[in-house]
Structure 1
Amino acid sequence: MSTKSILITGATSGLGLSLFDDYAAQGHQVIACGRNQQQLAAMQSKASQVCQFDMTDKLQIEGAAANVESLDILILNAGNCRYIDDAKNFDGELFADVIQTNLISLGWLLHYFLPKVKKGGQVVFVSSSATLLPFTRSEAYGASKAGMDYLANSLRLDLVKEKIDVTLIHPGFIKTPLTDKNDFPMPFLLTSEEASQRLIQAIEQRKRYAHFPKRLTLLLKFISFLPSFVWQKLILKGSH
C-alpha cells in the first residue's frame, strides 16, 4: 500500500479523530486540522502536520493552506449541529451560524485546498443521513447537509477532467461529543471507530456514494418513497 497525504478537517474529536488514528496507524502522512490547540499538540507526534484554524474564518484557512504542499485525499469532515427548537419564532442567527459552519466554509476550504489535490486524488464529503428525510428541528442542519450533497455531486462532474474522484458519505448516528448532546433516541448508534472503518473502506474503494449503517439508511430511503402524509405522520410520531 502506497503512503498517501491525507488532510482531515475536524480531526480533533469524534469521527475525525478516529479517522486520524486509523490512517496514522496505516503509516499515511496525515494532516490534522481543527480548532483545539491542546488536542492538536497531543496529536503532533503521529501527524505529518497539524493545522489550527477556524473554518468560518477565510484568512485562517488561507494561512493554513499556505503550509500544505500537496494532497492525495481531502476529507471534509468538520461540522456542527444545532436545532431550531421554536419554528414559529425562527432563529435566523442560529440558522446562519450552522449554514456558515457546515456549508459556506466548504467553499473556502475547496478554494484553498482543492488546488493542492493531485491528479488521481480524491475529495471526501462527510454529510449526513438526515438529508434522506426531513426531520423536526433540523431546518438548519438538514439544509446545510443537503447543500453539501448537491455541492459534492455537482463537483464530481466537473472534476472528471481533472481525474479527481469525489466521494459522498451519508453516515447515520455516530457517538461523538456532538451527538452526546442529543435528547432523542438514536437508533443503530455506531462508535466513531466503527464509522471510521466503514468510511475508510468506502474511500479505498473510491465509491461515489456510501451510506451506513444500512439498517438505518435503507429504512429511511424506504420511508422516503411512501406517500408524504404517511412518512410525515411517522416522523412526527417519532419526534414525541
Structure 2
Amino acid sequence: MTAKNILITGATSGIGLALFEQYSAQGDNVIACGRNQDKLNTLVARAFKTYSFDITQPTQVASAAQDIQADGSESLDLLILNAGDCRYIDDAKNFSGELFASVINTNLVALGTLLQYFLPQVKKGGQVVFVSSSATILPFPRSEAYGASKAGVDYLANSLRLDLAKHDIDVTLVHPGFVRTPLTDKNDFAMPFLLTSEQAAHRMIVGIEKRKKYLHFPKRLTLTMKLLAFLPASLWQRLISNKQERGDN
C-alpha cells in the first residue's frame, strides 16, 4: 500500500496523538502539528515533519503552511483538523462572553484559517476530516460555548463537502462520544461508554479509509442520543435537570 501524506493538528495529545501513532506505525508520512514544541520533539523520530504553531494565530499557521509547501509536501492525501478546546460556562446567569469567544475562536474560527492555508495543499482525490463532537446531537448544561462551536463545525463540514465534490475531495465529519483525553480528564460528571484515545483513533482510521461522510461512535451512546433527540425539548430538559439534581452530572 502506498504511504499517504497526512497532516494532523492537535497531534501531541489525546485523539490526535493516537492517530499519529497508528498512522505512523502503518508507514504513512505524518506531519504532526501542535502548540507544544517539547511534546512535538518526542515525535520527531517517527514523524515525516513536525510543526509548532497556535491555530488561533494566522501568521503562525501561514508560516507553517509555507514551510510545508517549500518542503515539497504540498500534496496532502489527508488533512485531519483535530485540535480544539473544551471549557464550560459554569454560571450561565453571569455569562462569560470572554470564555465563549475564546472557545468559538479556537474550535471554529481557527478552522477558517487552517482551511485557507492547508486546503489548497490537499490533492485531487484527497480527504478532509473534521473532528466535531456528539455533543451537537443534544443540548447539555454548561455546554453553550463548546456545543455552539462544534455545531458550527458540523455545518462547515457538511457545507464544504458540497463545494469540494467538484474538486474530487471528500469530507468526513466525526462525532466522537466520550474519549479519555487530557480535556475530558477535567470533567466532573459521568461519561458513559468511555473510550480510550487509541480506540477512538482506530475507529476513525477505519471509517476514513472507507471514505465515510459521517462517523459516530460508540454507537451505544450516539444512537441513544439520537433517539433522545426526538423527545420534546421540554421533556429532555426535565430529564437532564433531574439527573443534575440527583448528582449524576
TM more than 0.5: yes
Paired residues, number: 240
Q: Residue 77 of structure 2 aligns to which amino acid in structure 1?
A: D
* Distance in 1 separating the partners of 2:226 and 2:233: 13
Q: Name the residue aligned to 2:71.
A: none
Structure-1-length-normalised TM-score: 0.99
Q: Name the residue aligned to 1:227.
A: 232
Q: Residue 16 of structure 2 aligns to which amino acid in structure 1?
A: G
Instruction: Please report the RMSD computed on the Cα atoms of aligned residues, expressed in angstroms.
Output: 0.7
Within a 5 Å distance, the mapping from 1:12-51 to structure 2 comes to 12-51=12-51
Aligned structure 1 segments of 4 or more residues deviating by more than 3 angstroms? none
**Residue deviations 1:34-73, cap 9 Å, x none?**
0110110110010000010001100000000112222000
1:66 match: secondary structure: helix
Structure 1 unpaired stretches of 5+: none
Within a 5 Å distance, the mapping from 1:83-98 to structure 2 comes to 83-98=88-103
Within a 5 Å distance, the mapping from 1:123-138 to structure 2 comes to 123-138=128-143
1:159 match: secondary structure: helix
Q: Name the residue aligned to 1:67.
A: 67
1:152 is displaced (CA, Å) by 0.1
Q: Residue 75 of structure 1 aligns to which amino acid in structure 2?
A: I
Q: Name the residue aligned to 1:178.
A: 183
Residue 223 of structure 2 is aligned with which of 218, 222, 227? 218
Residue 199 of structure 2 is aligned with which of 194, 202, 207? 194
**Residue deviations 1:142-188, cap 9 Å, x none?**
00000000000000000010000000000000000110000110000
Structure 2 unpaired stretches of 5+: 69-73
1:235 is displaced (CA, Å) by 1.9
Q: Name the residue aligned to 1:203.
A: 208
1:104 match: secondary structure: helix
Residue 165 of structure 1 is aligned with which of 170, 190, 193? 170
* Distance in 2 separating the partners of 1:170 and 1:2: 28
- State the identity %: 68
